[in-house]
Amino acid sequence: MHDLEGCLRRAIGTRADLLGRLHADGTDCYRLLHGIAEGQEGLTVDRYGPLLLLQTFRAPLPGSAVDALHAAAERELGCTLLPVHNHRGGPAAADHVPHTPTTAALAEHLAHERGVRFVQQARHRGQDPWLFLDLRAGRALVQSMAQGKRVLNLFAYTCGVGIVAAAAGAARVLNVDFAASALAVGGRNVAANGLDPARCAMLHSDCLPVLRQLAGQPVQRRGKHVPFVRVDREPFDLVVLDPPRHAKSPFGTIDVVGDYPSLFKPALMTLAEGGAVLATNHVPTVAADAWHDVLRRCAAKAGRPLRELVPIPVDADFPSFDGQPPLKMALARL
């Protein structure tokens, strides 16, 4: 890694317009440096409210580099930040001197997106931060359309999308995830925003049997005796479908490259007339156009043809070399 400070300064400079807009609408969490796309392979720098989170995925940063980046970020942004460096790559050299975060930095903090609060803790049991910043444009869209709507948030993680829907006045939000610890953070996000937990419900379950039941389809399972959470069929106006790339469960395989329709079709079947699915695909090798074709064909075959399919671009703090960011989002409207 070379010219770290210069890279960070330039990256913040190129974000001047975006940061101005984000600050103006009550957002204080964003990516400041996006790895190789901005000249620093294996390094990301994010702001989450008062936290400056530096993540390395190859070589760890020496403490002196963390200090230098911290000073540069504070200078460029004109605010005080608490730095934490998390390393998720290879082993450090024998003479590596790590950065030691303060107790205050490791405490729980609040980050804000369009005025909605999200609890953050730089280090916790999991690896990923509690809010995925690249999904901001998807959350903004949901926030703009959720008022009075029934929203199903599948693969909810810490319920980020469900929280903005509830904050925007959704009539009902159902967040589904099989990670109890992630839903527990979602519960703290509900409390941090003073939301009514009854209007932003959490269902601790595998999404596959829940989705199939909501769609009126039989649950598929590996063995008759595999238990599953029972739910009644219920229509939703907006379904958020943000699956992992690949995962196996007792209820089937999630394979967003080879078989997106096995998720997308039941998502469409849960929609009320005029409803919409916000779908995502995180696989870098999947081209947006090819994925859109899969969605359109699946909808037509399911007898729920799409009125429109609107690609939702990621915000400019996630630049890509070729204009083809790994995260693709699309709003599919009936």
Ligand X SMILES: C[S@@+](CC[C@H](N)C(=O)[O-])C[C@H]1O[C@@H](n2cnc3c(N)ncnc32)[C@H](O)[C@@H]1O
The site for ligand X (CB under 6 A) is made up of 132, 135, 155-158, 160-161, 177-179, 182, 206-208, 242, 244, 247, 249
Nearer to ligand X, 212 or 292 (CB): 212
Q: Distance between terminal CA atoms of the chain?
A: 48
CA distance 127 to 89: 12
Q: Are 50 and 109 in contact (CB under 8 A)?
A: yes
Phi first, then psi, for residue 210 (nearest 5°) are: -65, -45
2: tokens are: 């070379």
What is the per-residue burial (b if ≥16 Cβ within 10 Å, else e) of 128-140? ebbbbbbbbebbb
Nearer to ligand X, 244 or 311 (CB): 244
Task: Identify the helix (H) or strand (E) that includes residue 254.
Answer: strand 252-255
Nearer to ligand X, 283 or 302 (CB): 283
175: tokens are: 């967040």
Give which of 182, 178, 155, 186 is closest to 267, Cα–Cα.
155
Note the maximum CA span of the chain. Answer: 63
Q: How far is the CB of 135 from ligand X (least distance, A)?
A: 5
Nearer to ligand X, 118 or 271 (CB): 118
285: tokens are: 């090798």
Q: How far is the CB of 243 from ligand X (least distance, A)?
A: 7
Give which of 266, 223, 239 is closest to 175, Cα–Cα.
239
Q: How far is the CB of 108 from ligand X (least distance, A)?
A: 18
Task: Identify the helix (H) or strand (E) that includes residue 8.
Answer: helix 4-14
| 204 bridge partner residues | 177
Q: How far is the CB of 12 from ligand X (least distance, A)?
A: 25
Nearer to ligand X, 105 or 239 (CB): 239
Nearer to ligand X, 28 or 206 (CB): 206
Q: ∠ at Cα 108 (103, 134), nearest 5°?
A: 120
Nearer to ligand X, 8 or 173 (CB): 173
Q: Are 156 and 207 in contact (CB under 8 A)?
A: no
22: tokens are: 């984000």
CA distance 167 to 187: 14
Nearer to ligand X, 143 or 158 (CB): 158
Phi first, then psi, for residue 197 (nearest 5°) are: -60, -25
Nearer to ligand X, 39 or 162 (CB): 162
